Chains A and B, each alone.
Chain A
Amino acid sequence: MEYPQAVPLKYRIDPEACIYLQKGKCGVCQKKCPVDAVDFEQKPQTVNLNVGSVILAPGFEPFSPTGLENYQYARHPNVITSMEFERILSASGPTTGHVVRPSDNAEPEKIAWFQCVGSRDLNRCDNSYCSSVCCMYAIKEAVIAKEHVGESLDCSIFFMDMRTHGKEFERFYESARDRSGVRFVRSRVHTVTPVPDSDDLELRYVTEKGELKTEIFNMLVLSVGLQTSPELVELAQNLDIELTEGRFAATDAFSPVETSRPGIFVSGAFQGPKDIPQSVVDSSAASSAAGELLADVRNTRTKEKKIPPETEVTGDRPKIGVFICQCGTNIAGVVDVPQVVEYASALPYVELATDKLFACSQDAQESMSEMIREKGLNRIVVAACTPKTHEPLFQETLTDAGLNKYLFEMTNIRNQDSWVHKNNPELATEKAKDLVRMAVSKVSLQEPLEELELGVHPAAMVVGGGIAGMTAAKSFAAQGYETHLVERGDRLGGQARNIFHTAKGDSVSEKLEELIRSVESSDKIHVHMNTALKDVEGFVGNFKSLLSSNGNEKEVEHGVTVLATGAEAYKPDEYGYGTDDRIMTSLELDQKLKEDDPVIKGLNAAAFIQCVGSREPGRMYCSRLCCTHSVENALELKKRNPEMNVYVLYRDIRTYGEKEYLYRDARKTGVIFIRYSPDDKPVVKAGKDKITITATDHVLQMPVELEVDLVNLATAVIPYGDEKLANFFKVPMNEDGFFIEKHAKLGPSEFSTDGVYLCGLAHYPKPIDESIAQAKAAVSRAVTLLARKTVYSSGTIAQVDQQLCATCGVCVSICPYSAPSFAEEGRFAGKAEINPALCKGCGLCTASCRSGAIHLKGFDTDQIFSQIFGIDEAI
């Protein structure tokens, strides 16, 4: 097993190391395995598959620093890679999460991280790109190391540019420095020497002020970059797909997951070095792209599972089956399982109690099914690991045996018992008995629950007609779904209208016009221009939105919603913006470049000022795209007039991934980069002929004066922060006004609210290629719902006993999901009722109901009381 998160989480035999396979002797594992899982006869097989599309997600390999002699990696045990340090920090790693250094297992007092090892480096390796993720993971490792060891641990990160361009990353960086006390040193260390008679290392480096410093550290972590392995380069050749200069799959900004070969898509770090959220976006985007291609044959090879009819148990006396898992030795090694079985068999209503070696194994599931049928069991308790991972599996077994899946209770005697009380087997056994008793008393009160089947309206609504919104609409249409595209303005295109080039140098306007044309000409896409959203009602699968355009109102029905409301450029009140035409924002310069404005030709010198309005108190985020944008436009100015003096005043250049080439080329062409610090910002003075910029040069450590004809302010990306829209769909926004996705890493293109998705700048600043990928990703997530045609609500939801309801309205006002409302008609008009499609089963209303009128199915008051009453015998 390579790592504890491996899927499937099963051991395999390493044929190179296996004595039996090598020499024909041993075979101990086969003899020992209690379930006969070991098969030495398995051979590699070649399987031919006929597919319509291929998605490549082969990942990356970490750069190996073995060849970098000056860092001592191969020679000194206390020089390790960041990947190795991750294992040291991990609770399941070799040191069980204790931060110790390899040479003597002593806890270090000083650790140094070196950034850009195997990235942004052409001298000692071939990777001139930025690996995008190392700055952030190094900060994370330093913060966690300090949490593990304590405040006293000295963590220092040696870096060139700090690239925390992801969502919420800048705040993390600030807090690592200011609160956790991580030290950041802007320097590339040139020499590392072992300290004689100790296991320490001496670092020699030059500080920003030009002083040569020597410092001793106990341990050194090399933040290694991401690269494509030679095997993958070979795979790419076999598949006949093009690679980039950095050996990643070549893609186009407007089709970011398509390789050069039609039908073959790419996602993750093989498309370019990237972090988890971006990889997740890509993978969804690739599946959407494949889905567009294969829309006509969707569901043609689906096999349907046969489900036996459900046995009616209402009114029957409970007949409980208790299954106690040994989990190999995980439980049985600590808990006296036979004793617990014996105890369980004597509990009220228990028909049968038995143990299983592995309750989750195929054969155990089958025998469970058989016993349910044979003995007529109508309630099941499984005492094993955690319901968070295994409940669905056992519930499926119940369903297969014809039992309602809610007639089930799982209790946790592994994670919360045998694993945490391994030195107290007796007490652990007592605890297991108590937990089983509590589960038995709860399950006996459990009733079969119904999952409401809800139809899905096979149409989508996309809010926002920018590049993300249009891409989403087009993708929905390509997969066969009617789509309403709602734009409040009078033109499609959004911010992309203002942009000159992509980072890859392609003209935006041509592709944009093409996209607009295809959206407008699609018979599946209904474009609603100059339209505002007035009201939204309904829920996943069944939304009804009221659109208003010039006083005309129209209702549309849709099963899913994508929010792609975009963002705009910040208009600053600093650096003389608004007082002089020669001082402009990046988008205004783009406009001039696009129109080939004569002003550009007349320039002798131009300056770009970065981070205008970004990375500042009140807007503590990096706008992600401005460094690349400015560097690219600096190159464009140089291209138009090589004699022009072009300056970029920056804080950190964040040309992540292969955008780093632009930065490299800009320096080569003679663009001058001057770093400024936020407490000593450049001062812009517009004179009659020239604009004078005064800044402190970081190399000279002296003030310099630049005389320029044009100043470009790279201003922040500001979301609209539309609270009304957020309220319509019950979706949250962060303090900056960007929407908050379901999960920062694993659910970047969807909301927690079912049936609502997001993409583009409304999520976080991002360049065109990433907006397009996220738009496709949002569609992919939405189509998984649309394609099902029906959705089921959960059975564990609240229900009102309307005879008891006092119409006080607490439930209506307290529910975060707007599930309760007052019935408008019928016998119980005026009483509360709960919409099962909206209820998330949190129980807030149940706990707040002063009349005891609300029942939370599966966690009802009598059930929880039965568990509480179960403790009187305990301990």
Chain B
Amino acid sequence: MSDKNPKILSFLCNWCSYGAADLAGVSRMEYPSNIRVIRIPCTGRMSPKFILAALRQGADAVWVSG
């Protein structure tokens, strides 16, 4: 893992956090581009397997938000 360039995978709930990420764009906020978003219908969809798979796949961090 590189300290300066971490790879972050995020799982965002369609109804709240995904919308919030959209709003960050509408508000023209800026944040580092190290994040890749997977839209899920609800954080209830989250399975621990997804987090483990992401880490195994080389993600430095996994962010679940909902």
Interface positions of A (Cβ within 8 A of B) = 91-92, 96-97, 386-388, 412, 414-417, 419-424, 427-428, 430-431, 434-435, 438, 796, 841-844, 846-847, 856, 858-859, 861, 864-865, 867-869, 871-872, 874-875
Contacts and interface: CB of A to CB of B under 8 A. Distances in A.
17 contacts: A91-B28, A97-B27, A388-B19, A415-B21, A415-B23, A415-B26, A416-B37, A420-B25, A421-B33, A842-B41, A842-B45, A847-B45, A859-B45, A868-B9, A871-B9, A871-B57, A871-B58
B18 A864 contact: no
Contact of A91 (B27, B46, B54): B27
A416 B25 contact: yes
A842 B58 contact: no
A392 B63 CA distance: 28
A862 to B, nearest CB: 11
Nearest to B60: A875
Interface in B1-50: 5, 7, 9, 14, 18-19, 21-31, 33-34, 36-42, 44-47, 49-50
A758 B57 CA distance: 49
A844 B47 CA distance: 9
A796 B38 contact: no
Interface centre among B34, B45, B47 (most CB of A within 10 A): B45
A762 B59 CA distance: 50
A428 B59 contact: no
Contacts of A92: 26-27
Contact of A844 (B5, B33, B44, B59): B44
Contacts of B33: 417, 420-421, 424, 427-428, 430-431
A389 to B, nearest CB: 8
Q: Is the interface of B mostly helix, strand, loop or mixed?
A: mixed
B25 A419 contact: yes
A844 B42 CA distance: 8
Contacts of A387: 39
Nearest to B6: A875
Given A859-B40, A865-B53, 7 more contacts: A388-B18, A416-B24, A419-B26, A431-B36, A864-B38, A868-B9, A871-B58
B24 to A, nearest CB: 6
Nearest to A875: B7
A415 B12 CA distance: 14
Contacts of B44: 842-844, 847
B27 A872 contact: no
B3 to A, nearest CB: 13
Contact of A875 (B23, B30, B34): B34
Given A388-B18, A844-B44, A868-B54, A875 B27 contact: no
Contact of A843 (B27, B40, B57): B40
Contacts of A858: 41
Contacts of A431: 33, 36
A868 B11 CA distance: 10
Given A420-B29, A846-B45, A386 B22 contact: yes
Contacts of A868: 9, 38, 50, 53-54, 57
Contact of B24 (A97, A420, A422, A847): A420
A438 B30 contact: no
Contacts of A428: 33
A97 B24 CA distance: 13
A867 B38 contact: yes
Contacts of B27: 91-92, 96-97
Nearest to B39: A387
B61 to A, nearest CB: 12
A867 B42 CA distance: 17
A868 B57 CA distance: 7
A875 B27 CA distance: 25
B40 A875 contact: no
B22 A388 contact: yes
A435 B25 contact: no
Contacts of B47: 846-847, 861
B36 A874 contact: yes
Contacts of B58: 871-872
